Chains A and B, each alone.
Chain A
Amino acid sequence: MNAKLKIALLALLGFSTASCASKRAAKKSSDKEMQKIETDTVDTRIMLMYGVPMPDGRPVMIVEDEKTMDAKEFPDGSLVKPISEEEAKRLIDQMRAEEQPDSLDLQISVMYGVPFPDGEVVHEVSESEVNAKAFEDGSLVKPVSEEEAQRLIEKMRAEEKAEK
């Protein structure tokens, strides 16, 4: 029995969603805010435990896009909005200030013998990232050097130690 017949029989039994695929064309629009129109096959996939839903091919459009107004346009037309160093620093400071572990959390962390996470965003935007350059092929390359990575890890360790 071939696969198509099996799918048809499954549908007859009322299990039509067990395996199916359909096509959906992206709607045409003159909306200037629309950044991209995609046409794609929509396929039902097994929902994996740590997977993500399959994109359904609809055009992706930021509804509240005032934040991207000042984004820079790179040669390939993509918009990239890096966070400024000041903004990143401000957010990190804000999180640190907010993150005073309460007594319940402290007790639990002691019970399990592990440090309490300080809620810090591990990623701090470095100057090299902010100044990322677009290359001729349009790709944006923001490498973090090994030294920079090492520095960040050491900083995290030192802060964790200080927290303890």
Chain B
Amino acid sequence: MKGKRLGLRKWLGLKLFKGLYDKAVEQHELRTLFWECTLRCNLRCRHCGSDCRVDVEEQDMPLADFLRVLDEEVTPNTDPSRVLIIFSGGEVLVRPDLETAGHEVTRRGYKWGMVTNGMALTRERLYSLVNAGLRSVSVSFDGFEDAHNHIRQNRLSFERARDAIRHIRSVEGLAYDVITCVTPAMIDRLEEWKEFLISEGIERWRIFSIFPAGRAANDPTLHLTTEQYRRLMEFVRTTRREGCIKLNYACEGFLGGYEAEVRDHFYMCTAGVSVASIRVNGDISGCTSVRANYTQGNIYRDSFWDVWQNRFKPFRDRAWTKKDECEGCKVWEFCRGGGMHLRDEEGKLMYCHYNMLK
């Protein structure tokens, strides 16, 4: 079983990759733009990092406001064909103007995708979205019916997600994957779950584990133990070697000996480096997983492009993370303090994946 230890080959690879990361930071080319278009949701999942709900105080951002940012700030400064726009939420399908949004974004030369829980993704809605330019979609699918419905707190959610995936598979060329949030309830059934996904014809699968943010922070039953976490890493590694399904572990954190074995790439937190987000209230930040307040500006007050070019210092220069348990850590040069989403309001690291691997 692998652990924290890096072999010479991997150490050399990481050293080389470090240089590429520095280059990416220096260039900070905007490649992914999240638009958190709503915080409303038709589910109330136990592990929701955004703490979304049906009844939210925050109004959806008007489409015109987002399009203004694209037209005045992003399009003149980028090649739209190189920027992927991701509609995120909340649950994006609760927005009645999603097709309009997709159509407008496509008309401007951007590719766009969305993340959904699948509850409201009927065949008709999907086709309508595909016709509005949808090119990529990710569906949350957290395990067998009991586990999925438990975590989603809705007894129809498994069936709806499965149906949504089947509809998606009927659109050739539409990039998609399913995302499984692995909880202790699923750790013993991963092999069986994998077989189920393969039998459904699913080709791409992404796994992540709970990080302590939003509602998940207060539910210890969702968190993996050290032993379970190591088993998860072994499972991902073995599955990738088998090659029956294209599995990736999400960009959670640096993984020592498992680097480049559980993901297609070495660990790198691209929040604020090539990924930006526009929050529902107009806040400009890195990736939407970053829930603590690392807001760099607001589209209603600031120029998005000016913010992207000239701020984002905490994201691009992570030297400030070299404190507490990261101080003196021998892999900091590769890890740089872990993902920004793992830092709390005071900058403290909430969770170290590397330390989970003994």
A contact residues vs B (CB 8 Å cutoff) = 1, 3, 6-7, 9-10, 13-15, 17-19, 35, 40, 44-56, 58-65, 67-68, 71, 76, 78-83, 87, 91, 95, 98-99, 101-102, 105, 108-109, 114, 116-117, 119-123, 125-126, 129, 132, 138-144, 149, 153, 156-157, 160
CB pair B176–A47 under 8 Å, yes or no, is no
Does chain A have a CB within 8 A of B204?
A: yes
Q: Once bound together, how far apart are the Cα atoms of A81 and B96, in whole Å?
A: 14
Residues of A within 8 A of B103 (CB): 78, 139-140
Q: Once bound together, how far apart are the Cα atoms of A59 and B171, in whole Å?
A: 10
Q: With both chains docked as a complex, state the minimum distance between the C-beta of A23 and any C-beta of chain B, in angstroms.
A: 13
CB pair B128–A1 under 8 Å, yes or no, is no
B5-57, CB < 8 A from A: 9, 12-13, 16-17, 19-20, 23, 31-32, 34, 40-44, 49, 54-55
Q: Once bound together, how far apart are the Cα atoms of A35 and B128, in whole Å?
A: 13
CB pair B128–A47 under 8 Å, yes or no, is no
Q: Once bound together, how far apart are the Cα atoms of A139 and B40, in whole Å?
A: 26
Does chain A have a CB within 8 A of B95?
A: yes
CB pair B251–A49 under 8 Å, yes or no, is yes
CB pair A156–B55 under 8 Å, yes or no, is yes
Contact of B107 among A49, A108, A116, A138 (CB under 8 A): A138
**A–B pairs, 27, beta carbons within 8 Å:** A13-B16, A15-B17, A15-B266, A19-B20, A46-B268, A47-B248, A49-B250, A50-B115, A50-B138, A51-B32, A51-B287, A52-B84, A53-B138, A55-B135, A62-B171, A81-B128, A81-B131, A105-B154, A116-B44, A117-B153, A119-B42, A119-B119, A119-B157, A122-B41, A122-B91, A139-B107, A142-B100
B contact residues vs A (CB 8 Å cutoff) = 9, 12-13, 16-17, 19-20, 23, 31-32, 34, 40-44, 49, 54-55, 59-60, 81, 84, 86, 88, 91, 93-97, 99-100, 103-104, 107, 111, 113-115, 119-120, 122-125, 127-128, 130-132, 135-138, 153-157, 170-177, 204, 206, 208, 248, 250-252, 260, 263-266, 268, 270, 274-275, 287-289, 341
Q: Which 6 A-B pairs have the closest CB atoms?
A: A52-B113, A55-B135, A58-B173, A122-B94, A60-B173, A52-B136
Q: Once bound together, how far apart are the Cα atoms of A99 and B155, in whole Å?
A: 8
Residues of B within 8 A of A142 (CB): 96-97, 99-100
Residues of A within 8 A of B32 (CB): 45, 48, 51
Residues of B within 8 A of A149 (CB): 59-60
Q: With both chains docked as a complex, state the minimum distance between the C-beta of B131 and any C-beta of chain A, in angstroms.
A: 4
Contact of A129 among B96, B175, B252 (CB under 8 A): B96
Q: With both chains docked as a complex, state the minimum distance between the C-beta of B256 and any C-beta of chain A, in angstroms.
A: 15
Residues of A within 8 A of B99 (CB): 80, 140, 142
CB pair A55–B136 under 8 Å, yes or no, is yes
Contact of A46 among B81, B265, B289 (CB under 8 A): B265
Contact of A101 among B13, B155, B157 (CB under 8 A): B155
Residues of B within 8 A of A143 (CB): 97
Residues of A within 8 A of B96 (CB): 123, 125-126, 129, 142, 144
Q: Once bound together, how far apart are the Cα atoms of A76 and B106, in whole Å?
A: 12
Residues of B within 8 A of A64 (CB): 170
Q: With both chains docked as a complex, state the minimum distance between the C-beta of B346 and any C-beta of chain A, in angstroms.
A: 22
Q: Once bound together, how far apart are the Cα atoms of A141 and B156, in whole Å?
A: 32
Residues of B within 8 A of A101 (CB): 155
CB pair B250–A61 under 8 Å, yes or no, is no
CB pair B155–A9 under 8 Å, yes or no, is no
CB pair B20–A17 under 8 Å, yes or no, is no
Q: Once bound together, how far apart are the Cα atoms of A47 and B208, in whole Å?
A: 11
CB pair B97–A63 under 8 Å, yes or no, is no
Q: Once bound together, how far apart are the Cα atoms of A160 and B42, in whole Å?
A: 12
Contact of A10 among B13, B86, B155, B250 (CB under 8 A): B13
Given contacts A48-B250, A60-B135, A99-B156, contact A121 B13 (CB under 8 A): no
CB pair B16–A53 under 8 Å, yes or no, is no
Residues of A within 8 A of B17 (CB): 6, 10, 15, 18-19
CB pair A59–B173 under 8 Å, yes or no, is yes
Contact of A83 among B111, B124, B171, B264 (CB under 8 A): B124
CB pair A48–B172 under 8 Å, yes or no, is no
